[in-house]
Amino acid sequence: MGMVERIEVGFPGGQRVDARFRGLSVVTDQAVEHGGEGSAPQPFDLFLASIATCAGIFALKFCQARSLSTEGLSLAMDWQGNQTDPSAAQATLRLTVPDGFPDKYRDGIVKAMDLCAVKRAIQNPPRFVTEISAAPE
């Protein structure tokens, strides 16, 4: 089946749920209107940000591999939809390229962004298994 990567999740208080992996931490909280303090992104916000940043790294690497200037390169993602029915949602990635960006690379940079592993995981979703066990005494 492949590599197993473990993400440890903790519950530090309130509505915070934090994840730890590879020596890093990801902090989440719920918005005030959902009972949290709004001190960190909500998990769904991180999901959306992962789509945009994943596409962004592919755009950046595309430019770097061709020694293209990234000054003025920007990416925004518009999400139209809601959390309850993501199948009816649409994510629109809007890449702004710098002045003088060669026309011959426009299709290529879009294809590079389409290689994003987050996008591919959404298009070909993994199986989800939930298990429960008692805490050791």
Q: Give the domain ranges of the chain.
A: 8-40, 42-126
Q: Residue 3 has which token pair?
A: 């590599």
pLDDT on residue 4: 76
pLDDT on residue 1: 62
Q: For domain 42-126, say whether CATH 3.30.300.20 is its number.
A: yes
pLDDT digits (tens, 9 = 90+) for 67-81: 999 999 999 999 998
pLDDT on residue 32: 98
pTM beyond cutoff 0.85: yes
Rounded-to-10 torsion of CA 64, 68, 74, 80: -80
Would you write out the chain's pLDDT as a tens digit for each of its 137 residues?
A: 677 799 999 999 999 999 999 999 999 999 999 999 999 999 999 999 999 999 999 999 999 999 999 999 999 999 998 777 877 889 999 999 999 999 999 999 999 999 999 999 999 999 999 999 998 88
